[in-house]
Amino acid sequence: MTITIRSFAEDDTEAVIALWLEVFPEYQDTSRPQRNPRLSIANKLGTQPELFFVATRTHDDEHGSRGTIVGTAMTGYDGHRGWLYSLAVDPRMQRQGIGTRLMRHAENALAARGCPKLNLQVLLDKPEVLAFYESLGYRADAVVSLGKRLESPASQTAHISHN
């Protein structure tokens, strides 16, 4: 088995969505539109698509050599900080170094752009995920993460026209 990390290609979409729905059960919560994997992919393809990575497992079968997506890492850099989103590894392939390789690949890609620090967020109810990042040298910053959902221009226009 060979693991290769490469940039996401549009024909990876369905395989990535299937992986995310398995790894991130919260993506199946339709009451949280910010967790829409199809929209996340479309938005990423519009902004720094070269910083969206997939890990593939190459195996040989009767049709020749094929690659199956077994992991993802979506990153971004705003010129001040880097961010990591959607690090996912197929549960059947976890604890084989794929997540670590994806993280190192993302860190190197960001460092090559001059990024001084990589930030990420982990849901509090995922202690095994926190332990993984801590094993890679990540530590909790003494900050509070704040967020606000913003309306898209299309939803603002629709809202105004109904008043």
Q: What is the CA radius of gyration of the chain?
A: 17
pLDDT of 160 reads 46
Q: Average pLDDT, stretch 41-57? A: 96
Least confident of 90-99, 123-132, 154-163: 154-163
Greatest Cα-to-Cα distance within the chain, rounded to the nearest angstrom: 61
Number of domains in the chain: 1
Q: What is the pLDDT of residues 100-136, one digit of tens each?
A: 999 999 999 999 999 999 999 988 888 999 999 999 9
Task: Return the CATH number at 106.
Answer: 3.40.630.30
Q: 3-state DSSP call for residue 159?
A: helix
- For every residue of 110-154, DSSP letters joined together read HHHTT---EE----TT-HHHHHHHHHTT----S----------HH
Q: Is residue 74 over pLDDT 70?
A: yes
Give the residue ranges of DSSP H helices in the chain. 13-23, 37-46, 98-112, 127-135, 153-161
- The full length of the chain comes to 163
Query: Contact at 8 Å (CB) between 145 and 119?
Result: no
pLDDT of 94 reads 93
Q: Give the other-Cβ count within 10 Å of 74's Cβ.
A: 24
Q: 3-state DSSP call for residue 101?
A: helix
Least confident of 25-34, 37-46, 85-94: 25-34
Q: Give the other-Cβ count within 10 Å of 147's Cβ.
A: 7
Least confident of 57-61, 79-83, 140-144: 57-61
In this prediction, residue 67 has a pLDDT band, given cuts at 50, 70 and 90, of confident
Closest CA to 73 of 96, 107, 42: 107
Domain that holds residue 145: 2-161
pLDDT of 158 reads 46
Give percent of the chain above pLDDT 90: 66
Q: Average pLDDT, stretch 48-53? A: 97
- What CA–CA distance (Å, rounded) separates 112 from 50? 13
